[in-house]
């Protein structure tokens, strides 16, 4: 009887030990680790490519230093992005960072994230609801306002202006509204054409080529993105137009900085750095670890960059 009891005790001890080892192995394998889901558009232009790179680098740094895993997805259209976010929800990630391709189209899936009880950090383009726990963005309205003031100053309050906008999103709306707000004070300046360049250099080249054919007189062009500004300049050069005094961008691309440095057609841009996503990923990591965010809205300043201060921001080794 004693022998049987001893065997039973040893067997029980072995079971407990195996269970403990199993739990330890589970912990070591990372099955219990925290995970950040990151949903971004595809790298259709330089700014987005730089943002994706910044997001992944920041996520890797956090994984190495804090042991928080991450899953990153990229989508070329809103439907694919919505499916990506659905997958992240199904995977049970602890927090999601999303840059919506389009504000309205991605608002419903943002609500799904909120309904699933997952904190949501939105970067760059805002949703049309209150699903986000935190929004990290540049000062889009400030870009428009600062650009409008620059146009009034450079044109002495008179001239014909073209506006090249982005796709349907909060970014496009806010930059356009800021520009209009500033330009309302200059009755002598007329916006003769306003079309979307889809934040694409190639699309902007095509759109601007058509505008140049339709508009015999243009003094300056406001673009909502540096990549679009480069496409606009190419169209102007191909058309041989010499009436356009200057073009402005937004973002902080190396090619635009070089135009400003070299007295090129692009004479000003307004900062909207792709490094903002690093803030978004850091905030997501803090939230995943149970920390409350310090603020629900983080806005990066829309600094004007012109010939006088371009050297402060120009980096010849930048990929963007």
Q: Break the chain into its structural domains and give their ranges.
A: 35-137+274-300, 140-273+307-312
Q: Note the CATH number of domain 140-273+307-312.
A: 3.40.50.2300
pLDDT at residue 158 greater than cutoff 90? yes
Give pLDDT, residue 168: 86
Q: How confident is the model at residue 319 (pLDDT cuts 50, 70, 90)?
A: confident
pLDDT greater at residue 7 or residue 207: 207
Give backbone dihedrals phi and psi of 178, rounded to 5 degrees, phi first: -65, -40
Give pLDDT, residue 32: 65
Give pLDDT, residue 161: 96
Give pLDDT, residue 44: 74
pLDDT greater at residue 55 or residue 5: 55
Give pLDDT, residue 186: 86
Least reliable range by pLDDT among 28-32, 35-39, 167-171: 28-32
pLDDT greater at residue 170 or residue 222: 222
pLDDT at residue 31 greater than cutoff 60? no
pLDDT per position as a tens digit, 253-284: 999 999 999 999 999 999 988 889 999 999 99
Give pLDDT, residue 2: 43
Whole-number Å distance between alpha carbons of 290 and 308: 45
Burial of 130 per CB tally in 10 Å (0-12, 13-18, 19+): exposed
pLDDT at residue 9 greater than cutoff 70? no
pLDDT at residue 26 greater than cutoff 50? no
DSSP codes, 87-117: HHHHHT-SEEEE--SSHHHHHHHHHHHHHTT
pLDDT greater at residue 53 or residue 170: 53
Q: Note the CATH number of domain 35-137+274-300.
A: 3.40.50.2300
Q: What is the mean pLDDT of residues 244-248?
A: 97
Burial of 157 per CB tally in 10 Å (0-12, 13-18, 19+): middle
Give pLDDT, residue 24: 36
pLDDT at residue 22 greater than cutoff 70? no
Give pLDDT, residue 73: 96
Give pLDDT, residue 266: 97
> What are the structure tokens assigned to 308, written together?
């006088």
Asked if domains 35-137+274-300 and 140-273+307-312 share a fold, the reply is yes
> What are the structure tokens assigned to 52, written together?
């994706």
Give pLDDT, residue 15: 40
Q: What is the mean pLDDT of residues 167-190?
A: 90
pLDDT at residue 139 greater than cutoff 70? yes
Give pLDDT, residue 283: 96
Q: How confident is the model at residue 300 (pLDDT cuts 50, 70, 90)?
A: confident
């Amino acid at each position: 009887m004693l022998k049987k009891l001893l065997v039973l005790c040893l067997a029980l001890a072995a079971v407990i030990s195996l269970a403990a080892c199993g739990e330890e192995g589970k912990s070591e394998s990372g099955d219990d680790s925290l995970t950040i889901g990151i949903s971004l558009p595809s790298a259709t232009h330089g700014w987005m490519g730089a943002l994706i790179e910044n997001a992944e680098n920041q996520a890797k740094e956090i994984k190495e230093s804090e042991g928080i895993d991450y899953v990153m997805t990229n989508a070329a259209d809103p439907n694919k992005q919505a499916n990506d976010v659905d997958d992240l929800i199904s995977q049970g990630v602890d927090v999601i960072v999303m840059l919506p391709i389009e504000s309205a189209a991605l608002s419903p899936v943002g609500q799904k994230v909120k309904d699933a009880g997952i904190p949501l950090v939105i970067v760059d383009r805002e949703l049309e609801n209150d699903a986000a726990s935190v929004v990290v963005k540049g000062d889009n309205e400030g870009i428009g306002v600062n650009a409008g003031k620059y146009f009034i100053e450079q044109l002495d309050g008179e001239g014909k202006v073209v506006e090249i906008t982005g796709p349907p999103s909060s970014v496009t709306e806010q930059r356009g509204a800021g520009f209009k707000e500033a330009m309302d004070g200059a009755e002598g300046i007329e916006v003769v054409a306003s079309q979307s360049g889809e934040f694409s250099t190639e699309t902007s080249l095509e759109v601007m080529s058509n505008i140049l054919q339709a508009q015999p007189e243009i003094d300056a062009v406001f673009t909502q993105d540096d990549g679009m500004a480069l496409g606009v300049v190419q169209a102007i050069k191909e058309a041989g137009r010499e009436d356009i005094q200057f073009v402005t961008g937004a973002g902080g691309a190396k090619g635009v900085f070089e135009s400003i440095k070299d007295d090129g057609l692009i004479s000003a841009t307004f900062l909207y750095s792709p490094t903002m996503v690093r803030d978004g990923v850091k905030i997501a990591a803090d939230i995943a670890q149970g920390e409350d965010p310090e603020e629900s809205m983080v806005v990066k300043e829309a600094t004007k960059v012109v010939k006088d201060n371009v050297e402060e921001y120009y980096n010849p080794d930048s990929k963007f």
